[in-house]
Amino acid sequence: MEELFDQLPDKVDELIDSFLSIPIVGDLNVGFTQYDFWLAVAIVVLLVLMFTFIKKQSRSLVPEGRFVNGMEFVVEYTRKNMVQDIVGPTWREHFPFIATVFFFVLVNNIIGVIPGCHPGTGCIGVTAALALVSFIYFIVMGVRKHGVGGYLKTFSHGLKGPMGPAIWLVEVFSTFLRLITLAVRLFCNLFAGHIVMGTFAILTSLFATQLAQGISLMAFGSAGISLLWLAILIIIYVVELLVAAIQAFVFAMLSAVYVQIAEEEE
């Protein structure tokens, strides 16, 4: 039993190495890595879902069937809980952007739960790009609302005297920190989830393959333990499905909160 656990660190190292970007075509500078491939798959899935939904929905005024009803539920939930409640009166113009971000991240995350897939959001480059898009979006919205000078002034929250510049500096710093936290939160959640799932999958296979080396009492014992690892793996799998949805929700909602902060009146 001990020697099985001794094999684990090497196998986990191998697993972590498989999460590095490996180019399929070209090299790392100009090329197409496995993350790009799954990103493209996610986009195709999203487009197929969208066009099927539009086609099926336009057939009748009353939504019919599970698919149309389910999609309408998700879209309405996004609209009510993530945009209307948070952004406020100007929600109508921000809904397309926030919904796009939400569905993009959601489809990517859910593809990541399928074993063997390397979703785009499991790669720091993609989440950083998404965070940058969201960052630029709320800054542009703030500038459009207040003007450049007015937007810069909102960071000091209307404080006068010596406290004004100090608070302004802290607020500007925390605004730039949002860029990092948005990217790192999504990436770390997905990456950590994949590593944990992979570790338990490795444990399951290590213990189960003892049977292949010869039938003995010991082998049956370790196969029994592998069932335990499998049970834990299934539980973690369900948790990861939840995390995939929650992280997409959090990413889109934080984008909405930042837009609301950028647009709020003093």
247 touches another protein (CB under 8 A):
yes
Contact stretch for another protein (CB under 8 A) within 128-136, 166-174, 187-195, 214-222: 187-195
Specify the long-range contacts of residues 30-33, CB closer than 8 Å, at least 24 apart: 33/123
Residues in the chain, total: 266
191 touches another protein (CB under 8 A):
yes
Query: Of the two residues 39 and 182, which places its CB atom closer to another protein in the complex?
Result: 182
Give the Cα separation of 189 and 240 in Å (integer): 9
Q: In angstroms, give the least distance from the CB of 3 to another protein.
A: 21
> Which listed residue (4, 75, 219, 250) binds another protein by CB under 8 A?
250
Query: Of the two residues 67 and 249, which places its CB atom closer to another protein in the complex?
Result: 249
Give the Cα separation of 69 and 75 in Å (integer): 10
Query: Of the two residues 84 and 90, which places its CB atom closer to another protein in the complex?
Result: 84
> Shortest CA distance to 36 belongs to which of 114, 98, 129?
129
Binders of another protein in range 145-184 (CB under 8 A) = 181, 184
> Which listed residue (41, 74, 257, 261) binds another protein by CB under 8 A?
257
Q: In angstroms, give the least distance from the CB of 209 to another protein.
A: 25
Measured in whole angstroms, the distance separating CA 182 from the mean position of its chain's CA atoms is 10
Give strand pairing partners of 23: 33
113 touches another protein (CB under 8 A):
no
Letters for 194-223 (x = contact with another protein by CB under 8 A, - = none) are -x----------------------------
Give strand pairing partners of 33: 23
Measured in whole angstroms, the distance separating CA 5 from the mean position of its chain's CA atoms is 32
Under 8 Å between Cβ of 127 and 186: yes
Binders of another protein in range 84-103 (CB under 8 A) = 85-86
Give the Cα separation of 72 and 80 in Å (integer): 12
Measured in whole angstroms, the distance separating CA 249 from the mean position of its chain's CA atoms is 9
Q: In angstroms, give the least distance from the CB of 250 to another protein.
A: 4
Q: In angstroms, give the least distance from the CB of 189 to another protein.
A: 6
Residue 9 class from Cβ within 10 Å (0-12 exposed, 13-18 middle, 19+ buried)?
A: exposed
- Dihedral sign (CA 73, 78, 81, 85): negative
> Which listed residue (127, 156, 189, 204) binds another protein by CB under 8 A?
189
Give the SS3 label for residue 33: strand
Q: In angstroms, give the least distance from the CB of 163 to another protein.
A: 26
Query: Of the two residues 64 and 85, which places its CB atom closer to another protein in the complex?
Result: 85
Binders of another protein in range 43-82 (CB under 8 A) = 81
Question: Which residues contact another protein (rule: CB under 8 A)?
Answer: 16, 81, 85-86, 181, 184-185, 188-189, 191-192, 195, 246-247, 249-250, 253-254, 257
